[in-house]
Amino acid sequence: MASHRRPKQPSRTRVTVLTTAAAAAVALGSGAANAAPAEKPNKDEVKAEVDKLYQEAEQATEKYNGAKERQERLQEEISTIQDNVARGQEELNELRDGLGSMASAQYRSGGIDPSVQLFLSADPDEYLDRASALDQLSSRQVEALKRIQEKQRDLAQQRSEAAEKLEDLSATRTELGDKKQEVQGKLSAAQELLNTLTAEEQAALAAEEARASRTSEREALSAASESSSSASGGASASAPASSSASPSASGSGRAGAAFAAAQGKVGTPYVYGATGPSSFDCSGLTSWAYGQAGVGIPRTSESQSSYGTRVSSVGDLQIGDLVFFFNDLHHVGLYAGNGQVLHAPRPGTSVRYESMDTIGGPFMWGVRV
């Protein structure tokens, strides 16, 4: 007789799990079908992100410059200390030879003084601490021992100082390498973004920058021409603005000379860590320009910001003054008049004139060197 058992029904729990899984699958499939593909950033979005990366690269560049400056200073200090130690060791050897000569003379005359013999076989520091022994020495021997003791202490201190500076140098070299990698990473990321643009979009960006640079240059040269004309009593008021306009009349002689030197570098490429004459970063340009005027200023923008007399107001700036931007002072240029700055802007650009309003960060203050 056939069995008519009812088929086993799925449990309520199993039904619930299956139903939930099916619903999730349907929702996922629906979402995948309706999700729009990630949109490619447009030209302006790419430019904004690239500008941000370039700014971060410049911040890292100034830290790189600072580490490089410290490295060079430490290397010079270590070299000086090592030279001093070498000379000191020679002097110490001569002092010891002199005391040995005393011992030889005493030996030839009948035997070495026990005090001198003791010195020759012991540390002079330990020996001189025994005050009773000093009574056994001649004044000449006492003086020789004291000089040896003093020289040994001096050499020990210098060697200790050199060891500390060598540790600082090692740490600085590590920092230098880290900052270099950071800069290169930012530049690579920026280039990858630019590579996402079409050739037409890249050309459009380049054209925009060129137009902005030409406008700023005309305004800056016009301001320089007006300043020069005003200073000479208006004799050249009708003269057209040109790159030969002398701006130095509105600032100190060395500021004008520095500005003129920088003018001659318009179009020179920005390269991080570069101080000229064929490439520059921002503080590399300003330190080079003032160097041409016979003035040695610090290497980094942060150090330059406190080098001379501070000028707080844009209205009080004179052509050739140093001008600083961003809260951390990581960017510097030369004031060009009429709200313009002559500077090495950032990676991917060249030395150029630019409105202070378009630098990308706030004007902090100026410095008159």
Just list the catalytic residues.
282, 331, 343
How distant, in Å, are the alpha carbons of 75, 91, 146, 156 from that of 82?
Answer: 10, 14, 23, 12
**CA dist., res. 87 & res. 81, Å (int):** 10
Token digits of residue 67 = 């580490």
Q: Is the peptide bond before 277 cis (omega within 30 degrees of 0)?
A: yes
Token digits of residue 318 = 């004179």
Positive/negative CA dihedral, 345, 288, 333, 57: positive
Asked if 138 and 105 touch (Cβ cutoff 8 Å), the reply is no
Token digits of residue 326 = 């961003």
Q: What is the DSSP letter of 123?
A: -
Mapped onto helix, strand or coil, the DSSP state of residue 62 is helix
Asked if 345 and 282 touch (Cβ cutoff 8 Å), the reply is yes
Burial of 145: CB neighbours in 10 Å, binned 0-12, 13-18, 19+: buried
Q: What are phi and psi of 297, to 5 degrees?
A: -115, 160
State the amino acid at position 106 in one-letter form. Answer: Q
Torsion of CA 359, 363, 365, 369, to 10 degrees: 10
Token digits of residue 338 = 């009429």
**CA dist., res. 11 & res. 330, Å (int):** 70
Asked if 82 and 300 touch (Cβ cutoff 8 Å), the reply is no
The secondary element (H helix, E strand) that includes residue 352 is strand 352-355
Positive/negative CA dihedral, 302, 306, 311, 312: positive
**CA dist., res. 112 & res. 220, Å (int):** 86
